Amino acid sequence: MKKILVANRGEIAIRIIKSARKMGIKTVAIYSDIDRNAPHVQFADEAIRIGENASNKSYLLGSKIIDEAKKMDVDAIHPGYGFLSENANFAEEVEKNDLIFIGPKSDSIRTMGDKLAAKDAVKDFDIPMVPGVDSAIDNIEKAICVAEEIGFPILIKAAAGGGGKGMRIVNNLEELPSQMERAISEATSAFGDGSVFIEKYISSPRHIEIQVLADSHGNVVHLFERECSIQRRHQKVIEEAPSSILTPSLRKKMGDAAVKVAKSCDYLGAGTVEFLLDQDLNFYFLEMNTRLQVEHPVTEFITGVDLVQEQIKIAKGEKLSFNQDELNIKGHAVELRVYAEDSLNNFTPNIGVLETYRIPEGKNIRVDNGFREGMEIPIYYDPMLSKLITYGSTRMEAIELMIEAINNYKIVGVETTLPFGKFVCEHESFRSGNFDTHFVNDYYSAEKLKKEIKEEARIVALLGLKIYLEDQKKLRIPTN
Ligand code: ADP
């Protein structure tokens, strides 16, 4: 493998290029018009324009990307996450064009991309599942039957769902018809597929996912868990590894289950098996993400494994160079997704120009970044600016370093999730490890954050005054 085309943009394109470069592999970036001078384009060895700004006229144009890859003598395509990464038809077209898709085979993507097909695939592997139905529901009568059988609250989910979209919590029978209608119409407009199904709503769950790696020689290992319970709108904002709640025996059980899930779909490459963990530490299979995950760096910190490098090696047909017993957890890592979103205003996207943009540096601080000072944040794509990751020998060390790194991350021009990240890291419930996916609802409000910011400003002002007064004292010219 001599040349890889990275079918993505921003921080993840840069992240992939870094590992390819380390392995002596040349890289090709792709770009839309607005991204012509973007950091990922400048970082790659070569770059090619794909189309106009909107994703469906550029980063989602699978056939065009494959054509360009062939013209540029590329051997393999890395899809990153998002865009075409979980598009089975794209993976298949790449395979048909004699290019290597750095990821699983298209069949595995197809199976795991549909939450119902995924449940079906793992059925015979003794994997605990959330109580509910394993087939699509399209009429209210059936929905009522299921709901009465499993008991409220229930969750209606889109089979083709992703990104927290198309999910509706239903608390009682009265709400059911209208919520069903809404879920079906939301699923149709977001995914072009109105199939929905019903799960028991687990009331205080933690989102725990397991990283797996599978090679083409039948070896499958897991690289432990990531805790992703700090979410807004069912989407992750802060992740960490390991989880503060898992015991070694539960970790082993969940790891073994994840390996079975990977085997159930003949998995190849890096993947993530997501579980919900209830208050009694029962875990349930949620879904499998058949790609590199946004939050993969926390796993890299605690295992010392470069996951992108492993993906490339597996795609080349190499055997995994380690077995399960050789993998160990060392230390603790925390990641904050730095989104251009206003934490004080319901996390609404906040697009603008990065007038000041300085990222923190230092030992055990990693910033996977796709932006630079002066850049405008395009409205066309995901508003994530970077991922800030810190590492420590203990969880507390990693959290304290995260607070310090957030303080040293200077962004002027747009609102970001940095203040929210600090709020979480300073919150007793997060620090004690006693939290669930409802952290934001339970503990966070814009008012609380504003109060903290005001209090901080007051302390800074008082400190400034104290230093001023001390300086005055020192500088005072003796009168005698
Ligand atoms: P998506 O593919 O849209 O990300 P997931 O199935 O991965 O959807 O779920 C995303 C989040 O939604 C989970 O991390 C969890 O917070 C919540 N969730 C999903 N299913 C349930 C459930 N059955 N009970 C409670 N919360 C759930």
pLDDT in tens, 435-473: 999 999 999 988 888 888 888 888 888 888 888 888 877
Q: How would residue 69 be classed by pLDDT, with cut points 50, 70 and 90? A: very high
> What does the pLDDT read at residue 466?
85
206-447: CATH topology: D-amino Acid Aminotransferase; Chain A, domain 1 (3.30.470)
Q: Is pLDDT above 70 for 477?
A: no
218: which DSSP letter? S
Q: What is the mean pLDDT of the chain?
A: 95
> What does the pLDDT read at residue 480?
52
Single out the residue of 141, 86, 139 nearest to residue 115, CA to CA.
Answer: 86
Calculate ∠ Cα 122-124-169, nearest 5°: 45
Q: From the alpha carbon of 158, which atom of ligand 1 is closest? A: 3
Q: Is pLDDT above 70 for 77?
A: yes
Q: What is the pLDDT of residues 283-299, one digit of tens each?
A: 999 999 999 999 999 99
CA of 187 to the centre of ligand 1 (A): 15
> What does the pLDDT read at residue 438?
97
Interatomic CA distance for residues 253 and 470, integer angstroms: 60
Mutate to test the pocket of ligand 1, among 81, 167, 440 (most ligand atoms within 8 A of CB): 167
Tokens of 175: 């709400």
Q: Is pLDDT above 90 for 475?
A: no
> What does the pLDDT read at residue 300?
98
Single out the residue of 284, 290, 282, 295 nearest to residue 242, CA to CA.
Answer: 295
Question: Is CATH 3.30.1490.20 correct for 131-200?
Answer: yes
Name which of 2-11, 69-78, 264-273, 342-351 the model is least confident about: 342-351
Strand blocks (E) in 180-325: 196-200, 206-214, 220-232, 235-241, 269-277, 283-289
> What does the pLDDT read at residue 139?
85
CA of 351 to the centre of ligand 1 (A): 27
What is the chain's alpha carbon radius of gyration, rounded to the nearest angstrom? 24
Percent of the chain surpassing pLDDT 90: 86
| CATH no. of 3-99 | 3.40.50.20
CA of 355 to the centre of ligand 1 (A): 36
Alpha helices in 49-114 (DSSP H): 62-71, 88-96, 106-113
Active site residues: 291
Mean pLDDT of 204-220: 98
Q: Is pLDDT above 70 for 479?
A: no
Q: What is the pTM of this model?
A: 0.94
Mean pLDDT of 91-118: 96
Interatomic CA distance for residues 55 and 381, integer angstroms: 7
Interatomic CA distance for residues 290 and 267, integer angstroms: 8
